[in-house]
Amino acid sequence: MASLVLGASGAIVCGQPKELTGSNTKGFNSIPGFRGQLSSGVLHDKCLLGFSSTSSTQRKHAWWIARSVSEEAATEIEGGVMEVEDEATLEQYFREAGDKLVVLDISTKTCGPCKMIYPKLVKMSKEYPDAVFLKIMGDLNSGTRALMRKWGVRAVPNFRFFRNGELIHSHSGANEDELRRNFLAHYEK
């Protein structure tokens, strides 16, 4: 049975994988915010495919998530990490996450250590699919630069952990052991 979650930036449709052709795709076009065409289980036009699960059994069955988003809002860049390009989208993720741990990676395009630690963050997002992993490129646009100023970010990569939209931890640096240790300390709560 499929489930549907609606948000300001689009819709998430979850269900067991199956070939999406013919009559079983008709309902998708009625979803508010959905923009795209379905063809053999693939979404086109600003839509993303991914996998989501809360257990290894579900991961083995590869549950699909399809999320329709605008170009300005967010894009899946790797694994379970979503890139956020504005504060409104970030706030939407906080609301949708509820009491789940949200890990926010703040980086810049030219930061070497950011590029080195990022694959480790992607790996963690796959290991802990019930946490929310986000990334902001601080020098991407005026909105992301404003967030860096607002938070006083002076060194990148900067990792911020949130729960219920509240900041619960922040640290800078590309040390994988420190990132994992801090993540686990807050993930378990």
Catalytic residues: 111, 114
Torsion (CA) 34, 166, 137, 42 in degrees, nearest 10:
-20
Q: For the chain, percent helix, then strand, then coil, each to nearest 5?
A: 35, 30, 35
Task: Report DSSP state, residue 109.
Answer: T
Give me the residue label for tokens 């939407």: 92
Neighbouring C-beta atoms of residue 43, cutoff 10 Å: 21
Instruction: Report which of 96, 99, 42, 53 is spatially closest to residue 74, judged by C-alpha positions.
Output: 96
Please tell me the distance from the alpha carbon of residue 109 to that of residue 33, in angstroms, as a whole number. Answer: 30
Residues 69 and 75: beta-carbon distance below 8 Å: yes
Please tell me the distance from the alpha carbon of residue 157 to that of residue 104, in angstroms, as a whole number. Answer: 10
Residue 81 token pair: 């990490």
Residues 81 and 28: beta-carbon distance below 8 Å: no
